[in-house]
């Protein structure tokens, strides 16, 4: 089963319930509008996941800003080098919630980011997976940008959220603030 089919299939069979206290009121997902969806086994509303996510709320070590509309996230991949927009998809089942981010376009590039071949990078390949722990914590996995022509990933070591340890590709992130854009 293809990934997009898997996502649609998973979303169609999940029992998502309104974030109101009335857990008998079922809601369906249409047009990726998930603000009022509720994951009953994880006990949090998806709309509560919108905001700024960072490994340390006191420093500027990269961020992901998830809007309330849950459509396009803003990300700082590398300070003064790469800021991007990415689409958000949900890969979910009853036991866990995973947000997947795919490159839409670069929004601000420095010299290092400007030297990359952005037109060759996949818009369908996952660059980040965010495994939701609760409404304030998540485990983030960074994959880098996939070059369709060269069939390999780039910028795997340059993601600021990972810190100075280039041997790891996972980091715990925290919700630091509410989103500043819709």
pTM of the entire predicted model: 0.74
Residue 157: per-residue pLDDT:
81
Residue 127 has pLDDT above 90, yes or no: yes
| Under 8 Å between Cβ of 142 and 127 | yes
Give the pLDDT confidence of 14-24 residue by residue, as tens digits.
323 234 433 32
Name, in order, each residue with C-beta under 8 angstroms of 14's C-beta and a sequence gap of 6 or more.
Answer: 39, 92, 93, 94
Would you kindly state where each structural domain of the chain is located, as residue ranges? Answer: 49-177
Give the pLDDT confidence of 26-72 residue by residue, as tens digits.
222 333 334 344 444 444 567 788 899 998 888 777 889 998 888 88
Which comes out higher in pLDDT, residue 97 or 154? 154
């Amino acid at each position: 089963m293809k990934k997009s089919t898997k996502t649609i299939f998973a979303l169609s069979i999940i029992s998502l319930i309104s974030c109101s206290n009335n857990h008998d009121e079922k809601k369906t997902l249409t047009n990726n509008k998930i603000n009022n969806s509720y994951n009953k086994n994880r006990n949090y509303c998806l709309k509560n996941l919108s905001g700024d996510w960072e490994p340390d709320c006191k420093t500027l070590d990269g961020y992901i800003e998830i809007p309330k509309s849950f459509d396009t996230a803003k990300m700082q991949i590398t300070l003064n080098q790469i800021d991007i927009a990415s689409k958000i998809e949900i890969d979910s089942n009853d036991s866990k919630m995973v947000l997947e981010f795919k490159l839409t376009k670069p929004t601000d590039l420095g010299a290092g980011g400007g030297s990359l071949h952005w037109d060759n990078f996949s818009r369908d390949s996952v660059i980040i997976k965010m495994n939701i722990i609760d409404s304030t914590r998540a485990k983030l996995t960074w994959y880098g940008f996939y070059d369709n022509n060269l069939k390999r990933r780039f910028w795997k070591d340059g993601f600021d959220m990972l810190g100075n340890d280039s041997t790891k590709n996972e980091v715990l992130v925290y919700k630091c603030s509410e989103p500043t854009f819709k």
